[in-house]
Amino acid sequence: MKPLSYEHRIQLLAVAAGLPGSVIALILLWTGDYSSRTIWTLGLLIVGLWLGFAFSVRHRVVFSLQTLSNLLAAMREEDFSVRARGASRDDAMGEVMIEVNSLSETLREQRLGALEANALLRTVMEEIDVAIFTFDNENKLRLVNRAGERLLARPVERLLGFTAAELGLGACLEGDEVRTMELTFPGGSGRWGMRRGLFRQAGLPHHLVVLSDLSRALRDEERQAWQRLIRVMGHELNNSLAPIQSVAQSLESGLNSLRNEGGLQPEMNRGLLDDLQQGFGIIRSRTESLSRFMAAYSRLARLPAPKLAPVSVREWISRVAMLETRVKVKIDEGPEMMISGDADQLEQLLINLLHNAADAVLECGSQASVGWSSQDSQLEVWVTDDGPGIQNTANVFVPFFTTKPGGTGIGLALSRQIAEAHGGTLTLENRRGSRGCEARLRLPR
């Protein structure tokens, strides 16, 4: 037999509560000396009031419980805006309603705090300059931040669900949890500091992998070191070169005056005079060369921060390509794009790359080319040539290092400094499958 519901039990109890009084009233009415009309009128009134109050009690109890049920259902659905109205502390049900309202407000504040904390965490993950990845117990990627997208050169939609091995991160899930690794990715290569940790989500173990680029930090320290060195060298050399150059010019002018005015004795060795004049000329020319040399290197130590403004990629590349007149530069046009950057510094960067490509073509080649494309959230610019290539690509970005006669060795170092100041990267390597070199610049869009 199916048990009675709570509503039916309340209704039966309410009917039972009024049953004795109603029955007694009806017995007295029917046994009394009343007319039939009076008996039926009062009888119907008694029965109607009895059943009406019984059903009212049922409705009142059920309505309050349904209100509580709706409030709890709203909280279960995380809708904390619903409140019970008309509750007061002078009755038991009112106290229950007030406590439920207080619980809903507490849950709303906790949920708001959790949302704000989650938003802060996501913002930190997106803006932090380290790549963060999380993998589930099957080594499939479940979360990646913006730095990780740039490192893998793919949007998040094309990364989630792939295994660590497919993304080139398989080595990060093996071995020591904290170590330094040499890794190569589509968005950059070099030395990386790797940290790995474990956490649980939905009861399942997950891996957290954090990769920080140590190469850029080391290059920044290296750059600061040689910038300080350049300033010291420039100060000391300029202090020495200026008087040497001045004295050499004065002596050379004095000898020229004596020779022109005939002030030299006939018996004086003319060969010695010529040697002295030649020596003074060499001193003067070398001091001038050293002054130009130090002025060029000082540019590295005085590179200002970029002044960002909208730059049209098509106009920027076309304008720089026209400046190289020694060889014909082929332009492989890409999509119409705008980036934020310092137009003057970006032009200097591209001028240096095209100048090196033209030198290689003039030495042993036939063509230089420049082009660009959009790779997800990055602009990619490449400069290629079909020259003899570079034997030692490891030192091309080292200041003072050059493979060209008369070169200063600052062009590529300055170019990479400009690229990194714009949040990008610059690489130079020999082309694969053909002659020549390829410089590849990546900048954030």
Per-residue pLDDT tens digits for 322-356: 888 888 888 898 899 899 998 888 988 898 899 88
User: What's the Cα-to-Cα distance from 400 to each of 164, 235, 397, 404, rounded to whole Å?
Assistant: 40, 18, 9, 11
CA max distance for the chain: 176
User: What's the Cα-to-Cα distance from 195 to each of 2, 145, 149, 320, rounded to whole Å?
Assistant: 62, 16, 18, 43
State residue 7's pLDDT score: 78
Q: Contact 410/300 with Cβ under 8 angstroms?
A: yes
Strands in 343-424 per DSSP E: 368-375, 378-385
Q: Contact 351/316 with Cβ under 8 angstroms?
A: no
- Tokens 């600052």 correspond to 410
Q: Note the pTM of the prediction, 2 decimals.
A: 0.46
Q: Contact 418/304 with Cβ under 8 angstroms?
A: no
Residues 6 or more apart whose Cβ sits within 8 Å of residue 18? 50, 53, 54
Any idea of the CA torsion for 295, 299, 301, 305, to the nearest 10 degrees?
A: 160
State residue 312's pLDDT score: 92
298-318 pLDDT tens trace:
665 567 788 889 999 999 999
Per-residue pLDDT 10s for the chain (445 aa) are 667 787 788 888 888 888 888 888 888 888 888 888 888 888 888 888 888 888 888 888 888 888 888 888 888 887 877 777 766 777 777 788 888 888 888 888 888 887 887 787 777 777 788 888 999 988 899 888 888 888 888 888 888 889 988 888 888 888 888 888 888 888 777 788 889 998 888 788 889 999 888 777 766 666 676 666 666 566 556 665 666 666 666 666 766 665 665 555 544 456 556 666 676 666 776 666 666 666 655 665 567 788 889 999 999 999 888 888 888 888 898 899 899 998 888 988 898 899 888 888 888 777 889 999 987 678 999 999 988 888 776 667 766 556 665 555 677 878 888 888 888 888 888 888 888 889 999 898 7
Q: Contact 338/313 with Cβ under 8 angstroms?
A: yes
State residue 381's pLDDT score: 93
State residue 386's pLDDT score: 87
